[in-house]
Structure 1
Amino acid sequence: MNQAITNRDDSLAELDRLAELTEDVLRRCRARGASEVDVGVGVDVGLDVNVRLGEVESIEHTRDRGLSLTVYFGKCKGSASTADLHPDSIEKTIEHACAIARFTEEDPCNGLADADLLAHDFPDLDLWHPWDITAEEAADLAQRCEEAGRNHDSRISNSEGATVQIGSSLAVGATSNGFFSRERDTRHMISAALLAEDGSGMQRDYWYESVRSASDFPDVESIGRKAAERTVARLGARKLGTTQCPVLFTPQVARSLIGHYLAAVSGGALYRRASFLVDHIGKPVFPEFVQIVERPHIRRGQASASFDAEGVATRDSDLVTDGRVARYLLGSYAARKLGMRSTGNAGGVHNVIVTHGEEDFHGLLKQMGTGLVVTELMGQGVSLLTGDYSRGASGFWVENGEIVHPVEEITIASNLREMFANIVAIGSDVDPRSHILTGSILLDRLTVAGS
């Protein structure tokens, strides 16, 4: 139990072994007649320690291995995977992928990414920071985090626990048309969830920090205190009557709004014509002051990568320029369906940055005057086809630029097209814990329905 399992001193040697295995699988698939092959092999190591009410509840060590394989016989595709790197399991995975490809119909858009788009330059993005920590040391951190939260306010009545998670990943990817990568990355998280109670009832909230390097964590006590502050602030929550008012999304929920936009301009939704933003390149969607960019090579970034899930090189680019759609988000298959080329977004986006103004959260409250601050969203009532938006929410009611009281059990409704067009301001209070980096977003007017 005292061993620091996440200090991967053998990571380079392990990558060598994974690289040999990857090359062997490529050769074996080609020998079976596959015209194109895509192989990925990875090893994930983790330690999760959870404490509750000062006692260690669980310690979980994980070591997961996996191989994913896609083969093409002409334009026929077959995919298979295994969580076991034993030779027999790998052989069966190859057999299954090849068998599937032989019995599927041809699709002219199938195939590997175009060779001229593949990444061959792999700059150091500073993503590898193994955390040399034992289970006992992790438990101590979790206990300190929870204790700071529980002691922060007398109204904190219970705890759902504090958790320390340590993780490292090694991966090798290769394609038969010349792509080969070796990568290492780490991700660590500390979180706490607390309950508060007074005469008005009970409330729950949480806080967490997620970093590539443990040296970037704030002191763990501050995480517990933040969870406590958020929990206590929800006490005395009231319901609202149905109204229309300005709405301010805090950064934690504002990024979901940007996420809906990214989903609407993603290839799968576009070629199926299941998005309200079909045929919108160059057209205005946001106000002119809104700029959104993708920056894949930020050092220690939450989603930094030199290449996408197909090996296509990533690059800095504009997604929204002066409020207009600058480009779509495409992998190779979707790009071919649309008569375009991959944008290096197979598997998603890499560090999306929404430019912001100078006002912080409190400045946006003053600008809003009277309205609703949304801190939590619930439900999945969003249609990319029509843009219709209706989600449960909770947060705070604001009057004269000051928070008056918390609110709960409300629904906010509008249409994404109108919401995007009616953004009034974007705050400087950017939340760095996500791959979508945005501050608070102030919307001119939404319908707020009470229960």
Structure 2
Amino acid sequence: MNDSRPDKALVFAHSREQFETLVDEALALALKTGATAASAGISEDIGLSVSVRMRDLENVERNHDRSFGLTVMVGQSQGHASTSDFSREAIARTVQAAYDIARFTASDEHAGLPELADLALDATQHRDLDLFHPWAIDADDAAQIALQCEAAALDFDKRITQSEGASVSAQQSHFVAGNTLGFRGAYASSRHSVSVAPIAGKGAQMQRDYWFDSMRDPADLATPDSIGRTAAQRALARLGSRKVATCEVPVLFDPMLSAGLIGSFVHAVSGGALYRQASFLQDSLGQAVFADHIDLLEDPFVPKGKASSPFDSEGVRVCARQVVDAGVVRGYFLASYSARKLGMANTGHGGGSHNLTLRSRLTQPGDDFAAMLRKMDRGLVVTELLGQGVNGVTGDYSRGAAGFWVEKGQIVHAVEEVTIAGNLKDMYRNIVAIGADAFTYGGKTSGSVLIGGMKVAGSA
């Protein structure tokens, strides 16, 4: 799928050297203007997105975005301004605007640049994580891939009657960041994807599903045919969906949806929620939150990882760590401001978490999806969630859901229009097993997650 012809490559309009010069000049100007400290970042994003529907080209979009942002400190007062104009005159105006905002902003003792000791100042230690793989592709090539993907779905089975379309996206970006404490950092990255959403059945019996793949390197993408076939199989499996009677049963979260369970945990133990006292996991450091066979690992240095980075968005060092150890929380997710508010150490999470992997110490190599169904015996497999329905303050969890009903370890029919409910505290403690069917969604990896019991609201 990778076409290396240079004439088709997306090309940045600005070089890293140009960005470095602009950042250095802006920081120097900020200090000259009267700032006591400053940080700056400049970035450029370019991409191509093509969509087709029912074997015809539907849309071609090209994006070219750029941004320069500057934060200045005047004592403990902070101001921020940004622009998409990279001329020196515009950047000078942005520096002045940020300085003026800081002058009239209330002082905040917790504001400011990261501590010098926390910064990744040694540029020789900024790892090359193999994040940049530009896709040499033009609109015609992308359209052909999307058409091939959709055709694989439409032609898979005569019961596939419609399509909501297929799309191909090729995106790449680069940035330079720096501050007046001496940090300078830069790297380029890319992300590419192929997706399709077929519809099975007719009339009131129509069912839709989708499949996709997203990678840093286009050479790592699944083939358009395999993506189309998988999407068709998923749509067909949903034919004959119906409600189930209201009950309380084990619930098996599809591996892709398990990322949401990780995300809710990360939000609850992140600085903003913690210092605002708005987390259901307040003061959970050192406490058992998950079942005692559960670990959560974080690694910022995974080559080609979707959440890999040699430093965080503030220039702070990052490190691999075990966030949850045998069910016990061993670390929060803190940036400079939240760390100061909480009186804790910066964990290098300006910009969010890095590659997270949820795993169970009980998982065996043979614990594939079929094995997880047998472990569950009777209950609900969830493959789609609807609505937000997660209360970050109380942990209450209530989501519309669709999936499959299981009896004696076998899927017996598809399910729709039900609601699953519980509380995340109980759900985390009641994780019975995690499958070996690991799937990476964004920066989170997990197998299917079996919860011992949840309320399922269906027909009376």
TM over 0.5: yes
Aligned 1:32-181 pairs, distance under 5 A: 32-119=33-120, 120=122, 121-181=125-185
Q: CA deviation at 1:431?
A: 0.8
Contact kept in structure 1, 2:259 and 2:441, CA below 8 Å: no
Q: Give the match for residue 374 of structure 1.
A: 382
| Rounded Cα–Cα distance in structure 1 between residues aligned with 2:264 and 2:424 | 8
Aligned 1:287-298 pairs, distance under 5 A: 287-298=291-302
Q: Which amino acid aligns with 1:287?
A: A
User: Would you say 1:17 and 2:25 are equivalent positions?
Assistant: no
Of the three residues 212, 216, 234, the one matched with 2:216 is: 212
Aligned 1:321-332 pairs, distance under 5 A: 321-332=325-336
| Rounded Cα–Cα distance in structure 2 between residues aligned with 1:150 and 1:337 | 55
Contact kept in structure 2, 1:3 and 1:134, CA below 8 Å: no
Q: CA deviation at 1:178?
A: 1.2
Relative to structure 1, the CA distance from residue 156 to residue 3 in structure 2 (aligned partners, 3 Å threshold; closer, same or farther) is farther
| Rounded Cα–Cα distance in structure 2 between residues aligned with 1:4 and 1:334 | 46
| Rounded Cα–Cα distance in structure 1 between residues aligned with 2:8 and 2:81 | 30
Cα deviations across residues 246-272 of structure 1 (Å, max 9, x unaligned)? 000011111101111111100001011
- What SS does structure 2 have at the residue aligned with 1:319? strand
Aligned residues: 448
Q: CA deviation at 1:305?
A: 0.3
Contact kept in structure 2, 1:6 and 1:167, CA below 8 Å: no
Cα deviations across residues 361-382 of structure 1 (Å, max 9, x unaligned)? 1101000000000011111111
| Rounded Cα–Cα distance in structure 1 between residues aligned with 2:232 and 2:9 | 30
- What SS does structure 1 have at the residue aligned with 2:345? coil
Q: Which amino acid aligns with 1:416?
A: L
Cα deviations across residues 132-176 of structure 1 (Å, max 9, x unaligned)? 112111111111011011101111111111111001101000011
| Rounded Cα–Cα distance in structure 1 between residues aligned with 2:449 and 2:56 | 40
Q: CA deviation at 1:196?
A: 1.2
- What SS does structure 1 have at the residue aligned with 2:307? coil
Cα deviations across residues 187-245 of structure 1 (Å, max 9, x unaligned)? 10001111111476111111110001011012111111111111111111101221000
User: Would you say 1:364 and 2:372 are equivalent positions?
Assistant: yes
- What SS does structure 2 have at the residue aligned with 1:432? strand
| Rounded Cα–Cα distance in structure 2 between residues aligned with 1:116 and 1:363 | 49
Contact kept in structure 1, 2:7 and 2:136, CA below 8 Å: yes
Q: Percent identity?
A: 45
Of the three residues 236, 242, 249, the one matched with 1:245 is: 249
Q: Give the match for residue 285 of structure 1.
A: 289
Relative to structure 1, the CA distance from residue 221 to residue 316 in structure 2 (aligned partners, 3 Å threshold; closer, same or farther) is same
Q: Which amino acid aligns with 2:77?
A: C
| Rounded Cα–Cα distance in structure 2 between residues aligned with 1:158 and 1:177 | 58
Q: Which amino acid aligns with 1:159?
A: S
Aligned 1:231-310 pairs, distance under 5 A: 231-310=235-314
| Rounded Cα–Cα distance in structure 2 between residues aligned with 1:48 and 1:354 | 32
Q: Give the match for residue 383 of structure 1.
A: 391
Contact kept in structure 2, 1:173 and 1:182, CA below 8 Å: yes
Contact kept in structure 1, 2:38 and 2:179, CA below 8 Å: yes
Q: Give the match for residue 320 of structure 1.
A: 324
Q: CA deviation at 1:91?
A: 2.7
| Rounded Cα–Cα distance in structure 1 between residues aligned with 2:440 and 2:276 | 33
Cα deviations across residues 77-129 of structure 1 (Å, max 9, x unaligned)? 11111223233432332222111111111110000111111113211101111
Q: Give the match for residue 415 of structure 1.
A: 423
| Rounded Cα–Cα distance in structure 1 between residues aligned with 2:128 and 2:203 | 54
Q: CA deviation at 1:312?
A: 0.5
Q: CA deviation at 1:53?
A: 1.5
TM-score with structure 1 length normalisation?
A: 0.97
| Rounded Cα–Cα distance in structure 2 between residues aligned with 1:395 and 1:277 | 29
The alignment yields a C-alpha RMSD, in angstroms, of 1.5
Cα deviations across residues 44-68 of structure 1 (Å, max 9, x unaligned)? 1101111111111111121111111
Cα deviations across residues 314-333 of structure 1 (Å, max 9, x unaligned)? 10011001100001110010
Unpaired runs of 5+ residues, structure 1, are: none
- Higher deviation after alignment, 80-89 or 173-182: 80-89
| Rounded Cα–Cα distance in structure 2 between residues aligned with 1:50 and 1:227 | 16
| Rounded Cα–Cα distance in structure 2 between residues aligned with 1:57 and 1:278 | 48
State the 4+ residue runs in structure 1 displaced beyond 6 angstroms. Answer: none
| Rounded Cα–Cα distance in structure 2 between residues aligned with 1:188 and 1:200 | 35
| Rounded Cα–Cα distance in structure 1 between residues aligned with 2:157 and 2:70 | 53
| Rounded Cα–Cα distance in structure 1 between residues aligned with 2:32 and 2:270 | 36
Contact kept in structure 2, 1:4 and 1:134, CA below 8 Å: no
Q: Which amino acid aligns with 1:431?
A: F
| Rounded Cα–Cα distance in structure 2 between residues aligned with 1:365 and 1:81 | 52
Q: Which amino acid aligns with 1:283?
A: Q
Contact kept in structure 1, 2:72 and 2:78, CA below 8 Å: yes
